[in-house]
Amino acid sequence: MLYLEESMAKWVMSENCIAYMIPSYSTKIVTDLDGLVLQGGSDVSPESYGEKPLKPEWNGDRIRDLYEIALVKEFIRQGKPILGICRGLQLLNVALGGTLYQDIQTQVPNSSVHRNWEIYDAHSHEVVLEPNSLMSSLYPGSKIEKVNSVHHQGIDRLSPSLTVEARSKSDGLIEAVRMKEGPFVYAVQWHPEFHNPDDQTFMDGKILLREFLKNGGKNGN
């Protein structure tokens, strides 16, 4: 089953572009598109990074992983931008050779709560922007930003192809990454499409979206 979250589609299309759900992987489809958004959703399967699930409920979606990993590699090969959201950050790290914590609270001592089912996207925490990072240049004058948090997996071993852009203020877990070389490939652990634009206490996700779109298009527009 393929799906496109309505909130994600509306967020992307708010900047005058078309959100297209990719039905299957093919080089031709990637050639015809300008960029890739990896949206949130089911767990990344531990089998996708060489581990066995610690619990049956953490099996994840191996079929979706293989589909998205193939897309990631082809978009990078063709030099096209990628933006990962929540699961998208985790999938990107795995596609490029990294690993994940299957469950943060189980595997990371003294970690903060990163998912609260009762309040879901209303759950939030602060992230610290890395000095001299792209994110710190996109949000000048800001060292700390407030974001939502609805995940229970997270980056364990970072891919050697990626660099850290932001971390959770409370426990240091990686919250944003960027590919060191090649096309614009960026990912965040939170859901900017869920941020209420009228709530000025949350990070403005449109800034990151515009940076992604700026790097797409046939002529880089």
6 catalytic residue (yes or no): no
Q: Among residues 114, 125, 151, 191, which one is catalytic?
A: 191
191 catalytic residue (yes or no): yes
Q: Among residues 68, 86, 151, 195, which one is catalytic?
A: 86
Q: Among residues 130, 165, 175, 193, which one is catalytic?
A: 193
SS3 readout for the chain: CCCCCHHHHHHHHCCCCCCCCCCCCCHHHHHHCCCEEECCCCCCCHHHHCCCCCCHHHCCCHHHHHHHHHHHHHHHHCCCCEEEECHHHHHHHHHCCCCEECCHHHHCCCCCCCCCCCCHHHCEEEEEECCCCHHHHHCCCCCEEEEECCCCCEECCCCCCEEEEEEECCCCCEEEEEECCCCCEEEECCCHHHCCCCCCCCCCHHHHHHHHHHCCCCCCC
17 catalytic residue (yes or no): no
Any idea which residues carry the catalytic annotation?
86, 191, 193
